[in-house]
């Protein structure tokens, strides 16, 4: 019995060091509701959606997200009325700094793709559709409400690539962003 206990202790102490962590218990996950505010064509617009990620060592996370414009962006050009819808989704990654502290900070980035569609309000006919690529790095502050719930707020800048039509260009969808996230998971 003593021999088995000694061999078991030696086997545990000889585990290799790894890049992401040494305990399988340090891998968890979370999901949440995402809200983002940004200017579109000079008007403050709101996007909402959700996302989820795998969390390594309670610091680095990697997952996916999806967001869409809440309501449509309406505008007039040359005497006609139009509406624009906008949505994107893709990869979501980030790093929490001192995530065990009640209030802590971090960095994150969303890399996604989606589309921006413009329709005539009068005829409901689609007049334009652009496929877009999104890059949105952010810094955030986060509060640990409980072991399973966090709230974070971040600021960043969104760069949009692929918008080029008679109504908009890329700079109409570029600009500073402010986001709020309600995150649920197991933050051990």
Residues 167-185 have pLDDT tens digits of 888 888 899 999 999 999 9
- Nearest Cα to 156, choosing from 35, 38, 31? 38
Cα–Cα distance, 166 to 19 (Å, whole number): 49
22 within some domain: no
Which helix (H) or strand (E) covers residue 11, if one does? helix 2-13
42 within some domain: yes
Pairing of strands 149-161, 60-69: unpaired
Query: Could you give the C-alpha distances from 110 to 88, 116, 135, 177, in angstroms and in order?
Result: 10, 17, 6, 12
Q: Which burial class, exposed, middle or buried, applies to 169 when counting CB atoms under 10 A from its CB (0-12, 13-18, 19+)? A: middle
Which helix (H) or strand (E) covers residue 3, if one does? helix 2-13
Contacts of 19 (CB under 8 A, 6+ apart): none
In angstroms, what is the C-alpha Rg of the chain? 22
43 within some domain: yes
17 within some domain: no
Q: How many domains is the chain built from? A: 1
19 within some domain: no
Cα–Cα distance, 95 to 56 (Å, whole number): 10
Kindly state the average pLDDT of the residues 43-64.
Answer: 94
Q: Tell me the residue range of the domain where 92 lies.
A: 27-185
* % the chain with pLDDT above 70: 87
109 within some domain: yes
pLDDT at 1 over 60: no
Cα–Cα distance, 147 to 61 (Å, whole number): 16
- Give the CATH number of the domain where residue 53 resides: 2.40.160.20
pLDDT at 37 over 80: yes
**What's the DSSP call for residue 94?**
E
Q: Which two tokens stand for residue 142?
A: 């986060």
Residues 108-142 have pLDDT tens digits of 999 999 998 889 888 888 888 989 999 999 999 99
18 within some domain: no
Q: What is the mean pLDDT of the chain?
A: 86
8 within some domain: no
């Amino acid at each position: 019995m003593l021999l088995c206990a000694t061999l078991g202790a030696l086997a545990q102490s000889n585990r290799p060091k790894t890049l992401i962590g040494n305990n399988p218990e340090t891998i968890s996950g979370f999901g949440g509701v995402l809200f983002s505010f940004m200017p579109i064509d000079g008007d403050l617009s709101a996007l909402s959606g959700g996302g989820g990620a795998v969390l390594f060592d309670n610091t680095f996370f990697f997952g996916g997200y999806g967001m869409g414009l809440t309501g449509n962006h309406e505008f007039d050009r040359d005497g006609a009325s139009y509406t624009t819808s906008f949505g994107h989704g893709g990869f979501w990654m980030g790093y929490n700094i001192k995530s065990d502290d009640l209030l802590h900070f971090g960095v994150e980035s969303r890399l996604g793709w989606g589309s921006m569609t413009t329709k005539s309000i009068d005829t409901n006919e689609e007049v334009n559709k652009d496929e877009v690529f999104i890059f949105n790095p952010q810094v955030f502050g986060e509060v640990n409400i409980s072991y399973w719930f966090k709230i974070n707020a971040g600021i960043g800048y969104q760069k949009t690539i692929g918008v080029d039509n008679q109504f908009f260009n890329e700079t109409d969808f570029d600009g500073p962003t402010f986001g709020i996230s309600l995150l649920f998971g197991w933050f051990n």
